[in-house]
Structures are given as structure tokens and as C-alpha cells.
Amino acid sequence: MNRPALTREHRPPSAADRPVTLSEEHAHAWSPAAARARFRAGLAGPTAGVAAGHTQANLISVPADWAYDMLLFCQRNPKPCPVLDVTDAGSFTTVLAEGADLRTDLPRYRVWEDGELVDEPTDVRAYWRDDLVSFLIGCSFTFEWALSEAGVPIRHVEQGRNVPMYVTSRECRPAGRLHGPLVVSMRPVPPRHLATAIRESGLLPAVHGGPVHCGDPSGLGVVDLGRPDFGDAVDAEPDDIPVFWACGVTPQAAVMASRPPFALTHAPGQMFLTDARDEQYRVA
């Protein structure tokens, strides 16, 4: 299977995926509303660890005539695309966050036209359309609280970096006009914590659940862990095992491959902070 050419040429300007220093402002202790207010005011950067204990979500908004295809794509590919909410056409609100505005309250967005990235603003009101249907999809940042509580180190958080994400050689199940490859996020895990990481993330299926692959990245068609397609490379300890989880950037890869006329998404690693508590999505 040939790997789709959907990777580095689609990355935003180099500063867009760079982390901002949120730790000095105690971002982990912010309420979701406080985080959204800061993002609305223009603060941008990866949201791993922000408003700890609250669920984060990926965003994709597509024209209404593509919404069924997207819903079916998510239903057929639940690991990378677990749906938390779907809005009515034209609505920019969600039951997951009272008073939030999906057009302004994420750190950074991506604007797509015919499958090409055309802008990466911090506010998409100028691009908003009355026919857009928005999908909020579970994010693996949500289960990081469980990993951390269980003693699993989160390398990208420790290093102040965005999580590394990779386009794989695995194709998602197509749906209507939508098709594309699976995208994964990677976290290096010490061997003694591997079973814990698998167990704890597996208890949160609404935010991707357990990993899809552990160990040799070539099993996913990933050639170089030091060159992620999105996010930042992280420094692993010598005995760390690369562990890969299905990633909510997968719908963006489908946009690149399927070329709908228009779409809005979050910038990779820069999520929507909901009011929901992480434990609401824990199954045991």
C-alpha cells in the first residue's frame, strides 16, 4: 500500500505548532471557561495539561452536504473518531461547554479549501458559514490525566512540547466521499509502565481508548520518529517503548485526501476545552 502524500507539505507555518509557555501561568489549574477566555483573547499553543481533569476535544466543521459522510466516517472509524457532540447546521455552540463559541474559543484553527490548508488563524468568525456542521471528537489528551495519576510519565508534557503525530500506512474504512489514512499520536512509555498505560487508556474509549500499536514504528509505516507529521518530536529515554494511539487529526487527513470544498478544524494539539470532567468518560 502506498502511503498518501499528506504529510509535511501540509504543515502550518513553523511557529504554529510551537508550544507557548503556559506552565508559568499555572495553566493546569485553569477552569475550562478561563482557558477558553484566554484562547478567545488570542493565546495559542498546545493544550496538553491545560485545565487538568477536563475533557478536551478535536474539532472539524464541514458543509451540511458533507455532514452525513463525516458522521458515517466517524461511525466506521470509532478509534480515531469517537464523536462527543455534533451541532446543528450553522450552530457554533455545544452542550459540552456552556457559553462557549466554537469560532473563537480554540487556541488555533485550520482553514481548508479543496483539501488545501489556506490559513491557520486564532479566530474563524470571518470564515464561518451558516451551513457548517461541527463535530467534536474525543482527544487523547483527556486520558493523559489517568496515565499521570497512575505514574506513567508524559514525555511531551515534561518537555513542554506538542505531542508528536504521524500519518500511517493504515487506511481508514471509507465512507461516502471521505477516505484517508489513520493518524496516530505517540508517547514513549517505560517498559514497567506499559501495561498500566494500556489499561488506563483502555478504560476511556470515548477518547480513543487503548493504543493501536506498540513498539517498532515501521509496523505503521512510520519511518522516522524524529520527524512527526504534526506536533513536535520528543526525547525518549533509552529503554522507552513508542506507544501509538489513534488520533483525532485523522479527519484532517481525510480532508486532505478527499478534498471537500471547505472545512474548518483545530490546529493539531490545540484543542477545545470542554466543561465535561474526564471521569465522565471512564467506563470502569
Percentage of the chain lying above the pLDDT 90 cut: 81
Is residue 47 domain-shared with residue 184, that is, in the same domain? no
Same domain, 35 and 130: yes
Question: What's the structural domain count of the chain?
Answer: 2
Q: Does residue 221 fall inside a structural domain?
A: yes
Helix or strand or coil: residue 283?
A: coil
Give the 3-state DSSP-derived string for 3-24, with helices as H, strands as E and coil as C: CCCCCHHHCCCHHHHCCCCCHH
* C-alpha to C-alpha distance for 164 and 151, rounded to whole angstroms: 21
For the cut 90, the answer to whether the pLDDT of residue 18 exceeds it is no
Q: Do 242 and 265 have their domain in common?
A: no
**199 and 132, same domain (yes or no):** no
For residues 136 and 262, state if they share a domain: yes
Instruction: State which residues form the domain around 109.
Output: 30-142+258-281
Which whole number is the average pLDDT over 3-22? Answer: 39
Is 54 in the same domain as 158?
Answer: no
Q: Is residue 21 part of a domain?
A: no
The CATH number that applies at residue 132 is: 3.40.1640.10
Residue 90 lies in a domain: yes
The sheet carrying 181-189 orders its strands as 165-171, 181-189, 241-246, 213-214
Concatenated DSSP letters of 57-126: EEEEEEEHHHHHHHHHHHHH-TTT--EEEEPPTT---BTTBTT--TTTSSS-EEEEETTEEEE--S--GG
**Does some domain include residue 22?**
no
**What average pLDDT does the segment 274-282 reach?**
91
Greatest Cα pair distance in the chain: 51
pTM of the predicted structure, to 2 decimals: 0.89
Q: What angle do CA 139, 29, 274 make, to 5 degrees?
A: 35
Whether residue 177 is found in the same domain as residue 231: yes
| CA–CA–CA angle 274, 149, 57 (5° rounding) | 20
Evaluate if residue 284 carries a pLDDT over 80.
Answer: no
pLDDT of 172 above 60: yes
pLDDT of residue 3: 35
d(CA 180, CA 257): 6
Local structure of 178: helix, strand or coil: strand
One domain for residues 156 and 132 = no
**25 pLDDT tier (thresholds 50, 70, 90):** low
Looking at residue 141, its pLDDT comes to 87
Residue pair 247/80 in contact (Cβ under 8 Å)? The answer is: yes
| Mean pLDDT, rounded, for 280-284 | 86
Q: Write the pLDDT tens digit of every residue in 178-203.
A: 999 999 999 999 999 999 999 999 99
Q: Note whether 271 and 57 are within 8 A (CB).
A: yes
Strand partners, 243: 187, 214
For residue 45, give the 3-state DSSP assignment: coil
Closest CA to 245 of 142, 151, 158, 150: 142
Q: What angle do CA 147, 153, 157 make, to 5 degrees?
A: 95
- Both 41 and 104 in a single domain? yes
Q: Check whether residue 77 and residue 163 sit in a common domain.
A: no
CATH code assigned at 196: 3.30.2040.10
Assess if residue 103 is contained within a domain.
yes
Examine residue 104 and state whether it is found in any structural domain, yes or no: yes
Question: What amino acid is encoded at 203 in this protein?
Answer: L
23 domain-assigned: no
39 belongs to a structural domain: yes
Same domain, 194 and 92: no
Q: What is the pLDDT of residues 200-238, one digit of tens each?
A: 999 999 999 999 999 999 999 999 999 999 999 999 999
What are the grid coordinates assigned to 46, written together?
A: 498546545
Q: Which residues contact 25 (CB under 8 A, 6 or more apart)?
A: none
Residues 240, 262 within the same domain: no
Q: What is the mean pLDDT of the chain?
A: 90
